[in-house]
Amino acid sequence: MPDKISEEKKIGVFVCHCGTNIGGLVDCEKLAEYSKTLPNVKYSEHNLYTCSETGLAAIKKAVQENDLNRVVVASCTPRTHEPLFRECIEEAGLNPYLFNFVNIRDQCTWVHMKDPEAAYEKSKDLIRMGVSKAEKLEELEKIIVEVNPSAMVIGGGVSGINCALSLNNQGFKTFLVEKDKELGGRLKELYQVFPSDKQASELLNELVAKVKEAKNLTVYTSSKLKSVNGFIGNYEIEIEQRNHNVNLNVGVIVVAVGATSYKPLSLFNYNSKNIITQLELENKLRDNQIEANDIVMIQCVGSRNADREYCSSICCMTALKNALIIKKREPNRNISILFRDLYTPGTIYEEYYRKAREAGVLFIKYTPDKQPIIDKSVVKVYNQYINSEISIPFDLVVLATPLIANNDNRELAQLLKVPLEENKFFLEAHVKLRPIDFATDGVYICGSAKWPADISESTTQGLAAASRAGTILSHKTIEVEGATAYIPDWNKDLCKGCEVCIKICPYNAIVKDENNEIQIIQALCKGCGTCASTCTKKAIVIRHFTNEQIISEILAFGGEKVA
């Protein structure tokens, strides 16, 4: 390709009517005529629909016949149409970044529908600015990053195992790293699991058997992550396994470290004898050791309060499941569940609640301002329906405590450069639409490490992380947008290493290298511009949105240079 940058700038402008959306309000023919009067514009025309096959053919023809080296389209919105026009000029032999979009529909004729004259004047301004920027546009290349088609899953609980198995089944080499001696996580501590009567051990054995059969899967137990270097597609990992180090190279990382059961040491006279947690009850159920006749379960112990605002989401179902197991064995045992709001969303969980009521489990709502009190052999609780305190005798009190974030989450988060939320659970990229991704490309999150999740949800999230990881690992290389941030050589001296850019980058794309110099990892940069606009020394430049380009637009609008 000839060096078009040093060439004379020949800009073509195409003004789109968009049917009547633009053309019905402003005179597109006059706008095209006006465009011809602007500096460096060698060609202009107006089309009923520039995006139609006819319109695109007109662009290609004009580029070739007039030897254009910059193209401006004034039309709808880059949101939907920029890729189309970039592709079009690429087919005409130009670098796709030599295209500039001028939005005269969404941001002009649509918003100024009642003032056509002002809309026309604004369209002229926008086109003049766009042409001025086009003149400064530079060719850019997309960045190609090679991908190592393998994954590391941290945490061998139910979400991590399912994630690793799916990655294995998709054909990717997978390393499953577990800090405990055995796989299983919380599953090892449970007896029967909802929503079926299956034993946790049976479920775990099935999973472990599949892990053993998996050809692409290597398990490291008693292992801990020591260091992580690199970025999407190319991570260098060091793990420590029983006093020796193992080095792994992987393309992506999945966090599946689970959560910890909260011990209610100072709450409700907890003594792990006749006042125990639901988790301790699971052991007793497994060993068939329950002699108590009067059982009181208390929900939300250590959660939904000032210290821990959240609902742990799995405790109501655990209590119902365990109450039903006891009732099934011995229907005459008395079980009362003291709750605040019973959390059984959906079809099957609500059915558990109904079945428990039908089995004779007594449900008493309490409010946080009138907590139940354990007094010798009775639990006293205020019952609002009869407006008085009642005393329930007990042999056994079972406390439903929340899952809390692991102690070492902070350490892991720092190694991976990913964020935690206020309760120290891992924070995903977007609560709604990117629930399994971190903001950093190539790192994923699933299971209770993100938020307390039951078994089926942890399983699903494990699979989901395998899918998200698969979108990267399926490719030998990935292509990254060329309009990224960088520090040009001539600006290197400007950087004083203040690290503001490192702290502020939402994608963790900026690091300091071994020479203590700022490095912007091109594969991670999205070109958002946050770093450049906060850089105290103006050392960082955003390709395709350089200061020069933006200032030229401002000057074209009528701004004045201030010395």
Q: What is the footprint of other proteins within residues 171-210 (CB under 8 A)?
A: 171, 193, 195-196, 198, 203
Is 368 among the residues that bind other proteins (CB under 8 A)?
no
Identify the residue among 58, 92, 125, 170 touching other proteins (CB under 8 A).
170
Closest distance of CB 184 from other proteins, Å? 15
User: Between residues 386 and 562, which has the closer beta carbon with respect to other proteins?
Assistant: 386
Q: Identify residues 280-309 at the interface with other proteins (CB under 8 A).
A: 304, 309
User: Between residues 385 and 490, which has the closer beta carbon with respect to other proteins?
Assistant: 385
Identify the residue among 332, 387, 407, 516 touching other proteins (CB under 8 A).
387
How far apart CA 454 and CA 459 sit, in angstroms, is 9
Identify the residue among 69, 103, 277, 313 touching other proteins (CB under 8 A).
313
Count of residues that bind other proteins according to CB under 8 A: 73
Identify the residue among 27, 30, 40, 49 touching other proteins (CB under 8 A).
49
User: Between residues 316 and 398, which has the closer beta carbon with respect to other proteins?
Assistant: 316
Closest distance of CB 524 from other proteins, Å? 17
Identify the residue among 100, 109, 148, 166 touching other proteins (CB under 8 A).
166
Residue (of 212, 279, 262, 195) closest to 455 by Cα position:
195
Stretch that binds other proteins, among 234-242, 268-276, 385-393, 545-553 (CB under 8 A): 385-393
Closest distance of CB 374 from other proteins, Å? 24
User: Between residues 239 and 478, which has the closer beta carbon with respect to other proteins?
Assistant: 478
Closest distance of CB 149 from other proteins, Å? 12
User: Between residues 21 and 546, which has the closer beta carbon with respect to other proteins?
Assistant: 21
User: Between residues 9 and 173, which has the closer beta carbon with respect to other proteins?
Assistant: 173
Q: Identify residues 460-489 at the interface with other proteins (CB under 8 A).
A: 460-468, 470-471, 474-475
Identify the residue among 30, 42, 143, 169 touching other proteins (CB under 8 A).
169
Element (H, E) at 234: strand 234-241
User: Between residues 10 and 17, which has the closer beta carbon with respect to other proteins?
Assistant: 17
Identify the residue among 3, 37, 385, 563 touching other proteins (CB under 8 A).
385
Closest distance of CB 316 from other proteins, Å? 8
Identify the residue among 34, 352, 425, 507 touching other proteins (CB under 8 A).
425
Per-residue contact string for residues 328-347; x = within reach of other proteins by CB under 8 A = -------------xxxxxxx
Is 356 among the residues that bind other proteins (CB under 8 A)?
no
How far apart CA 541 and CA 532 sit, in angstroms, is 6
Q: Identify residues 526-555 at the interface with other proteins (CB under 8 A).
A: none
Residue 154, classed as helix, strand or coil, is strand
Alpha helices by DSSP H, listed for 10-108, are: 28-36, 53-66, 78-91
Is residue 370 a contact partner of residue 382, using CB atoms and an 8 Å limit?
yes
Cα 494–chain centre separation: 34
Is residue 222 a contact partner of residue 179, using CB atoms and an 8 Å limit?
yes
In the numeric block, the tokens 């004259």 are attached to 117
Residue (of 12, 109, 123) closest to 67 by Cα position:
12
Closest distance of CB 548 from other proteins, Å? 29
Residue (of 148, 175, 187, 345) closest to 279 by Cα position:
187
Closest distance of CB 19 from other proteins, Å? 2
Closest distance of CB 359 from other proteins, Å? 16
Is 432 among the residues that bind other proteins (CB under 8 A)?
yes
How far apart CA 267 and CA 249 sit, in angstroms, is 46
Is residue 119 a contact partner of residue 28, using CB atoms and an 8 Å limit?
no
Residue 309, classed as helix, strand or coil, is coil
How far apart CA 426 and CA 484 sit, in angstroms, is 27
- Beta-carbon contacts of residue 362 (< 8 Å; ≥ 6 apart): 334, 335, 336, 337
Q: Return phi, psi of residue 397, to 5°.
A: -110, 135
Give me 20's structure tokens: 């009547």
Largest CA distance in the chain: 96
Is residue 439 a contact partner of residue 508, using CB atoms and an 8 Å limit?
yes
Count, in order, helices (H) and strands (E) of the chain.
Answer: 14, 28
User: Between residues 351 and 411, which has the closer beta carbon with respect to other proteins?
Assistant: 351
For CA atoms 538, 540, 545, 548, the dihedral sign is positive
User: Between residues 169 and 519, which has the closer beta carbon with respect to other proteins?
Assistant: 169
CA dihedral 164, 168, 173, 175 (to 10 degrees): 20
How far apart CA 308 and CA 107 sit, in angstroms, is 45
How do 485-486 and 541-542 pair as beta strands? antiparallel
Stretch that binds other proteins, among 32-40, 60-68, 242-250, 459-467 (CB under 8 A): 459-467
How far apart CA 262 and CA 315 sit, in angstroms, is 12
How many Cβ atoms are within 10 Å of 222's Cβ, its own excluded?
14
Q: Identify residues 9-38 at the interface with other proteins (CB under 8 A).
A: 17-21
Element (H, E) at 120: helix 116-136
Identify the residue among 459, 508, 522, 549 touching other proteins (CB under 8 A).
459
Is 124 among the residues that bind other proteins (CB under 8 A)?
no
Is 455 among the residues that bind other proteins (CB under 8 A)?
yes
Is 247 among the residues that bind other proteins (CB under 8 A)?
no
Per-residue contact string for residues 433-452; x = within reach of other proteins by CB under 8 A = xxxx-------------xxx
